[in-house]
């Protein structure tokens, strides 16, 4: 997600622009440094392409996220599933912001207690004094220098899975299984263009024709996923993978936000039996539902997107208690994670949801 002067809010750190026909176009430019297991200890090393590789080092970095943002939510889920809570600290911004930056208004004194800055913008400017783009979450920040390392959310999440293995908890799942990599990469790209970004093409369409085309394209993809999940428990293989996390963070926001706010209102996910059962199963697992704050999700979209919701009124509904009902997905075989894998333990103190629904308490 990004914020910045003359840039619409778009969740992933990408400027929102419109093509001549009103279609939403996402600018995907990031600070694409990486944290890798091969990088030598010490200072980051420059690569031939001009980026830097930073060393894997426990206690060196802080993940800054917003519970409202689907892209940041992916990083929070993966950090929890991998058991990296004691290795990479977590800073959480509030759900709303001004045109300058995400702010740490949930913390005492409205200052991040580790980075000691009131705005995420400070970490970007500490490294790039003339940083020209929006201030985005998720971001990895080096704690000692208070400088942003990367905001490239696809590689940031992938590297938590593949590069931080020596720090994973015992029994952490394999979310990037080698035997399914090719299928996952193909499906991930399709999910991004058709679903994750598809809801935004609907919400920020600049013309009726652009909206109609985006709407039809989104629902064609969701219908395809409904059919796919009628015969398989998860998107790829017999267990949860990173691909499922990519879909979850969009699906869980659909009925509370996208259905009304982004006008994706053909029907709700609760009315699609396979997607709804799939979503409930994931939500009921540690790492998924216990990192989902519906209050902050609704506050952000409905308050910040004033071009869509000028009154800034946040809806009270919908009723979300169905998330706690049995999902019945066991009938399709498989299990969430492979043999020998364990679920993460209790949420670390201080990271609990500030606004849990009654069925989450």
Residues linked to residue 275 through DSSP beta bridges, in sequence order: none
Residues with catalytic function: 69, 200
- Residue 100 has what pLDDT? 79
213 and 311 together in one domain: yes
Would you state the structure tokens that stand for residue 225, as one six-digit string? 């996923």
Would you state the structure tokens that stand for residue 329, as one six-digit string? 């997905």
152 and 48 together in one domain: yes
96 and 40 together in one domain: yes
Q: How many domains does the chain have?
A: 2
pTM: 0.94
92 and 72 together in one domain: yes
pLDDT digits (tens, 9 = 90+) for 304-357: 999 999 999 999 999 999 999 999 999 999 999 999 999 999 999 999 999 999
Range of the domain at 338: 178-360
157 and 120 together in one domain: yes
- Residue 23 has what pLDDT? 74
192 and 336 together in one domain: yes
182 and 160 together in one domain: no
SS3 of residue 52 by DSSP: strand
Query: Is the residue at 284 inside a domain?
Result: yes
Residue 1's nearest CA partner among 22, 30, 24 is: 30
In angstroms, the CA 140 to CA 191 distance is 24
Successive 10-residue mean pLDDT values, the chain, 361 residues: 41 46 72 97 96 98 98 98 98 90 95 98 97 93 98 96 98 98 98 98 96 98 98 97 98 98 98 98 98 98 96 97 98 95 94 95 74
Query: Is the residue at 10 inside a domain?
Result: no
- Final residue belonging to a domain, choices 167, 200, 220: 167
219 and 316 together in one domain: yes
Cα dihedral 264, 270, 275, 281 sign:
positive
- Residue 9 has what pLDDT? 41
Would you state the structure tokens that stand for residue 355, as one six-digit string? 């606004």
pLDDT digits (tens, 9 = 90+) for 65-80: 999 999 999 999 999 9
Return the number of other C-beta atoms located less than 10 Å from residue 358's C-beta.
Answer: 8
320 and 265 together in one domain: yes
Residues linked to residue 4 through DSSP beta bridges, in sequence order: 7
The enclosing domain of 323 has a CATH number of 1.20.1050.10
120 and 251 together in one domain: no
197 and 345 together in one domain: yes
Name the DSSP class of 119: B
- E strands, the chain, are 16-18, 24-26, 34-36, 45-46, 52-55, 61-65, 89-92, 139-142, 147-150
pLDDT digits (tens, 9 = 90+) for 13-42: 333 555 556 777 765 789 999 999 999 999
Query: Is the residue at 117 inside a domain?
Result: yes
Query: Is the residue at 32 inside a domain?
Result: yes
Query: Is the residue at 241 inside a domain?
Result: yes
**Exposure string over 270-298, b if 16+ CB within 10 A, otherwise e:** bebebbbbbbbbbbbbebbbbbbbbbbbb
Query: Is the residue at 221 inside a domain?
Result: yes
118 and 192 together in one domain: no
Query: Is the residue at 250 inside a domain?
Result: yes
- Final residue belonging to a domain, choices 104, 135, 167: 167
Return the number of other C-beta atoms located less than 10 Å from residue 112's C-beta.
Answer: 25
The enclosing domain of 90 has a CATH number of 3.40.30.10
Name the DSSP class of 189: H
Q: What are phi and psi of 51, to 5 degrees?
A: -85, 175
Q: How many residues does the chain have?
A: 361
102 labelled binding-site residue: yes
- Final residue belonging to a domain, choices 146, 167, 188: 167
């Amino acid at each position: 997600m990004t914020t910045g002067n003359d840039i619409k809010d778009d969740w992933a750190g990408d400027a929102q622009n419109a093509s001549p026909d009103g279609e939403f176009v996402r600018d995907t430019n990031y600070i694409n440094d990486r944290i890798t297991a091969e990088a030598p200890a010490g200072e980051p090393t420059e690569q031939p392409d001009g980026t830097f590789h930073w060393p894997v080092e426990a206690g060196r970095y802080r993940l800054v996220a917003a519970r409202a943002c689907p892209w940041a939510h992916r990083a929070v889920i993966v950090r929890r599933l991998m058991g990296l809570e004691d290795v990479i600290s977590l800073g959480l911004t509030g759900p709303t912001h001004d045109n300058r930056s995400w702010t740490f208004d949930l913390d005492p004194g409205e200052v991040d207690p580790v980075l000691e800055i009131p705005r995420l913008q400070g970490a970007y400017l500490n490294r790039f004094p003339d940083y020209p783009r929006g201030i985005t979450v998720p971001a990895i920040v080096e704690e000692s220098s208070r400088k942003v390392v990367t905001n490239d959310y696809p590689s940031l999440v992938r590297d938590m899975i593949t590069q931080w293995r020596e720090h994973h908890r015992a029994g952490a799942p394999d979310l990037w299984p080698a035997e399914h990599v090719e299928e996952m990469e193909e499906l991930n790209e399709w999910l991004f263009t058709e679903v994750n970004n598809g809801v935004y093409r609907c919400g920020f369409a600049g013309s009726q024709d652009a909206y109609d085309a985006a709407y039809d394209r989104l629902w064609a993809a969701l219908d395809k996923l409904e059919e796919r999940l009628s015969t398989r428990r998860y998107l790829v293989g017999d267990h949860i993978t990173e691909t499922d996390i990519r879909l979850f963070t969009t699906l869980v926001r659909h009925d509370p936000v996208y259905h009304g706010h982004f006008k994706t209102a053909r029907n709700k996910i609760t009315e699609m039996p396979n997607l709804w059962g799939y979503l409930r199963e994931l939500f009921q697992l540690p790492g998924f539902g216990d990192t989902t704050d519906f209050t902050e999700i609704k506050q952000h979209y409905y308050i910040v997107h004033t071009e869509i919701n000028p009154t800034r009124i946040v809806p009270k509904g919908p009723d979300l208690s169905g998330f706690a009902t049995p999902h019945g997905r066991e009938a399709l075989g498989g299990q969430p994670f492979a043999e020998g894998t364990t679920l993460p333990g209790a949420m670390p103190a201080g990271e609990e949801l500030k606004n849990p629904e009654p069925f989450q308490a």
